[in-house]
């Protein structure tokens, strides 16, 4: 396997981030100091959240887009119940169509933007606002190229997406600005071309939902008739089938790598192999995978095998939790300070952000292990996806509101283009 191909696999994420973590233990990071003793404070905080919000560990849903689409009250189940004229696999295809476009619209919207749901008058921001807005866009047929069938996303409908249509549907205006509007719109437009280019994954009708048919062909039946689908098959379909939608940041060995970045602290000089300083994250692809796994398991009763290769998501809420509790502290003068927010600020490509994200991946593993040990649970009893949902992602958001009540934003301002976070 070439280095470029390796950097597009799930196992490469944890392996490369572990290299950064080893340097952190030796106090050799360029931008951060690492204080492992502070991890106990994060674990205690997360355990309090679990105790506060859940009667039982079994009540914790996995981290996925479904949570945001159902913000405030259930929306998915009532929608599915209206689809009584189609079979269970078509229902799953529609949910995957919705989920994929919704995730692609889910990059950071900034501290100001909000969405008011017309039917309820409720106001949502950030991921919940983007999720609820995307669901209503889906119901309105904005992503469908077939006027007789609004409940789908296909290449024709997505190719007609414009910034103006997204801005209108997302209620964006001068008083309600959204970060990365152009970037997230372009992802949807690029998705149209990707769907048409990969009929082996998305079918002749070029719909995300036809990944159901591809995965069914990759599955095998268990003794009780359950379809067992390798996560690696889902990952390959997402990495190969969606690769054309991502901006070409790094082309390595003639392959566009996506969410992969150089981390200069890994540079060991002449002994380096080509590509040794590159660290993969594939955050949005993993977010898609987590979200689609829930759809496949809940709507089709399939079992996805190999989820342990997936990592925590290296984004600003999970990562912010580590900074706000002092597990990670920026070194003096490491980043310029934004004059408006008085917070450090950087682009996603900045080496400091790459270090932060790598440390977040490993930090989330360590926190999950500590939580399980405290509760006397195994990984099978409390998954990383549940820890993300019930503890770290939620915890990062809650501590941000305490530390920065005016915005609830991250401890480091990231100049989002709508395609990374």
Report the C-alpha gap between 72 and 75 in whole angstroms.
9
Percent of the chain residues past pLDDT 90, beyond the cut: 81
Segment holding 246, helix H or strand E: none
Structure tokens at 302: 């399939």
pLDDT tens by residue, 371-406:
999 999 999 999 999 999 999 999 999 999 999 998
Residue 52 CB neighbour total at 10 angstroms: 7
Angle (CA) 112 52 36, round 5°: 75
Whether residue 251 is predicted with pLDDT greater than 90 in this model: the reply is no
Q: Lowest-confidence range among 48-57, 128-137, 173-182, 299-308?
A: 173-182
Closest CA to 8 of 326, 210, 285: 285
Residue 342's H or E segment, with its range, is none
Q: Would the pLDDT of 272 be above 80?
A: no
Give CA angle at 96 (92, 100), nearest 5°.
175
pLDDT at 408: 87
The confidence score (pLDDT) of residue 250 equals: 84
Q: Give the pLDDT of residue 409.
A: 86
pLDDT in tens, 188-224: 989 999 999 999 999 999 999 999 999 999 999 999 9
In this structure, the chain runs to a length of 421
Mean pLDDT of 315-331: 96
**Model pLDDT, residue 127:** 85
> Which pLDDT belongs to residue 184?
83
| 81-104 confidence digits (pLDDT tens) | 999 999 999 999 999 999 999 988
Residue among 51, 89, 74 nearest 299 (CA): 89
d(CA 72, CA 49): 19
β-bridge partners, 260 = 280
Of the ranges 178-182, 264-268, 376-380, which is most confident? 376-380
Least confident of 7-11, 78-82, 86-90, 270-274: 270-274
Asked whether 120 and 160 are in contact (CB, 8 A), the reply is: no
Reported as a pLDDT band with limits 50, 70 and 90, residue 417 is low
Task: Give the percent of the chain with pLDDT over 70.
Answer: 97
For position 116, what pLDDT does the model report? 96
The average pLDDT across 41-60 equals 96
Q: Where are the alpha helices (DSSP H) in 222-336?
A: 231-242, 283-300, 316-324
Q: In sequence order, what E strands does 57-212 have?
A: 114-116, 123-125
Measured between alpha carbons, how far is residue 409 from residues 176, 253, 263, 397, 403 in Å? 16, 37, 25, 8, 9
What token pair was written down for 199? 């009929």
For the chain, what is the mean pLDDT?
A: 92
Q: Is 176 helix (H, G, I), strand (E, B) or coil?
A: strand
Instruction: State pTM to two decimals.
Output: 0.91
Report the distance separating Cα 344 and Cα 366, nearest Å.
26
Per-residue pLDDT at 309 exceeds 90 = yes
pLDDT at 340 over 90: no
- pLDDT number for residue 385: 95
- Tokens standing for residue 343: 């917070």
3-state secondary structure of 198: coil
What are the sequence ranges of the domains in the chain?
Answer: 1-62+220-420, 64-218
Q: What is the pLDDT of residue 339?
A: 86
Of the candidate ranges 51-65, 222-236, 243-257, 355-369, the one whose mean pLDDT is the lowest: 243-257
Instruction: Yes or no: say if 295 and 99 are a contact pair by the CB < 8 Å rule.
Output: yes
pLDDT tier for residue 271 given thresholds of 50, 70 and 90? low
- The mean pLDDT value for 148-172 works out to 94
pLDDT, residue 419, reads 60
Judge whether residue 421 has pLDDT over 60.
no
State the CB neighbour count (10 A cutoff) for residue 174: 5
Closest by CA position to 151, among listed 104, 217, 85, 199: 85
DSSP 27: T
What gap in Å lies between CA 156 and CA 197, rounded to an integer?
Answer: 13
Residues 103, 291 contacting (CB under 8 angstroms): yes
């Amino acid at each position: 396997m070439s280095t470029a191909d390796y950097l597009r696999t799930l196992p490469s994420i944890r392996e490369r981030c572990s290299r950064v973590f080893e340097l952190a233990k030796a106090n050799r990071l360029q931008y951060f100091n690492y204080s492992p003793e502070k991890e106990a404070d994060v674990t205690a905080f997360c355990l309090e959240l679990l105790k506060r919000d859940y009667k039982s560990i079994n009540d914790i849903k996995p981290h996925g887009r479904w949570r945001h689409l159902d913000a405030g009250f259930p929306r998915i189940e009532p929608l599915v119940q209206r689809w009584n004229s189609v079979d269970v696999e078509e229902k799953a295809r529609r949910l995957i169509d919705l989920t994929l476009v919704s995730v692609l619209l889910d990059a950071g919207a900034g501290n100001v933007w909000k969405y008011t749901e017309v039917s309820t008058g409720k106001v949502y921001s950030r991921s919940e606002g983007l999720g609820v807005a995307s669901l209503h866009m889906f119901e309105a047929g904005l992503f469908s190229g077939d006027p007789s069938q609004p409940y789908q996303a296909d290449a024709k409908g997505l190719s007609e997406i414009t910034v103006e249509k997204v801005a209108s549907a997302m209620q964006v205006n001068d008083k309600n600005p959204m970060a990365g509007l152009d970037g997230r719109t372009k992802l949807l437009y690029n998705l149209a071309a990707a769907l048409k280019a990969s009929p082996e994954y998305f079918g002749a009708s070029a719909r995300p939902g036809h990944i159901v048919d591809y995965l069914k062909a990759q599955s095998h039946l268990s003794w009780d008739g359950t379809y067992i689908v390798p996560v690696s098959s889902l990952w390959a379909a997402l990495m190969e089938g969606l690769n054309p939608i991502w901006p070409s940041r790094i082309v390595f060995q003639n392959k566009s790598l996506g969410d992969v970045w150089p981390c200069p602290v890994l540079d060991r000089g002449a002994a380096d192999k080509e590509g040794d300083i590159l660290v993969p994250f594939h955050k949005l692809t993993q977010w898609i995978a987590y979200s689609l796994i829930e759809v496949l398991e809940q709507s089709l009763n399939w079992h996805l095998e190999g989820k342990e290769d997936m990592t925590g998501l290296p984004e600003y809420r999970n990562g912010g939790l580590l900074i706000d509790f002092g597990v990670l502290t920026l070194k003096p003068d490491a980043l310029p300070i934004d004059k408006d927010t008085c917070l450090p600020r950087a682009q996603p490509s900045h080496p400091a952000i790459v270090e932060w994200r790598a440390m977040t991946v490993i930090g989330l593993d360590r926190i999950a292990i500590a939580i399980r040990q405290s509760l006397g649970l195994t990984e099978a009893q409390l998954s990383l996806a549940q820890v993300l949902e019930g503890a770290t992602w939620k915890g990062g958001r809650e501590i941000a509101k305490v530390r920065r009540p005016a915005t609830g934003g991250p401890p480091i301002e990231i100049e989002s283009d709508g395609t990374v976070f």
